[in-house]
Amino acid sequence: MKKTILLALATAALAAPAIAEDHGHKHDAAHAAMHKAHQERMAKILADPSRAEDAKRDKYRHPAETFEFFRIHPNHVVGEYAPGGEWISRTLGRYMEGSGKFNGLFFSTTVFADEKTREGVKAGAAKFADDVAKVTGKPASDYRAFTLDAVPDGAKGTFDRIIVMRMIHNLMRWNMADQEIKRMRDLLKDDGLLGIEQHRAKADAPFSYADGSKGYVREADVIKFMEVNGFELVAKSEINANPKDSANWPDGVWTLPPVRRFDKENDAKYQAIGESDRMTLLFKKRP
């Protein structure tokens, strides 16, 4: 398993899956117990027979390692931005318990000129809790969803974690990145963390390729963008790296699985490569 890379931290990492540490935090008995509890809880969830279809993508998405790297605890208030196909929602929806609350954070509808699109986003938010509850067997009241331009009263400053999974490229190409990240920042507690997983362009990729239009973004650009918008990088990981991905497909990331939108005659080639090379970054809200 690939090693988690921590910034400004010289202590050794725990056995995989690795979890990022706060500066100065020691790997004490309490942390080791938390690590073990996460492994056991997530292993049980991932092995559930009802996940048979979702499990096919686990080898590319590394859910146990990724969620632990993001320091997600069952009793946290967690937001998933742009839930989409709800693959993550079906996993984290099972994981949360006790005082934990899982939230779907949907696009701000105000950025879309088309009325049909705006109504579609609202409809997705409206059915989110019921969708997740059907899978988890928990009551729909355990879940919540809203669009970022309609944040419920009292929600700001209450989130422990927010995750943005393979969505930064869309925020960039739709010219809504600054607005959405700032609104997510408002939701976080003062010590809240925001995790990003994103298709990674090569470090020397031209802006015309790494502007989000091809699905790939340069890691350095994402880090700088987040810093400008009130965040500080805590850690980064190679959990979701894929060196087989050349990240220079003329038709972008959608050439690769799971979409495989182009070049169907060479599908076996892309299946052998697998899903995209991805950065996995963790940021904290800056005062």
> Does residue 17 have a cis peptide bond before it, meaning omega lies within 30 degrees of 0?
yes
For residues 287 and 283, give the distance between their C-alpha atoms in angstroms, rounded to a whole number.
13
Any domain includes 162: yes
Residue 5 is predicted with a pLDDT of 37
In this predicted model, what pLDDT tens digit does every residue of 77-136 receive, in sequence order? Answer: 999 999 976 789 999 999 998 889 999 999 999 989 899 999 999 999 999 999 999 989
Q: Residue 11: pLDDT above 60?
A: no
Answer whether residue 264 is part of any domain.
Answer: no
d(CA 285, CA 124): 28
Domains in the chain: how many in total?
Answer: 1
261 belongs to a structural domain: no
- Does some domain include residue 255? no
C-alpha–C-alpha distance, residues 33 and 77, integer Å: 21
Residue type at position 26: K
Q: Is 79 exposed, middle or buried (0-12, 13-18, 19+ CB in 10 A)?
A: buried
We report the CATH number of the domain holding residue 40 as 3.40.50.150
Tell me if 267 is assigned to some domain.
Answer: no
For residue 61, is it within any domain? Answer: yes
Q: What is the mean pLDDT of the chain?
A: 89
pLDDT of residue 131: 94
Range of the domain at 58: 4-245+275-285
Average pLDDT score over residue span 49-53 = 88
For residue 235, the surrounding DSSP H or E stretch is strand 231-237
Residue 114 CB partners (closer than 8 Å, separation 6+): none
40 in a domain, yes or no?
A: yes
Task: Confirm whether 251 is domain-assigned.
Answer: no
- CB-based contact 105:150 (threshold 8 Å): no
pTM given for the model? 0.88
DSSP 53-101: TGGGGHHHH-HHHHHHHTT--TTSEEEEES-TT-HHHHHHHHH--TT-E
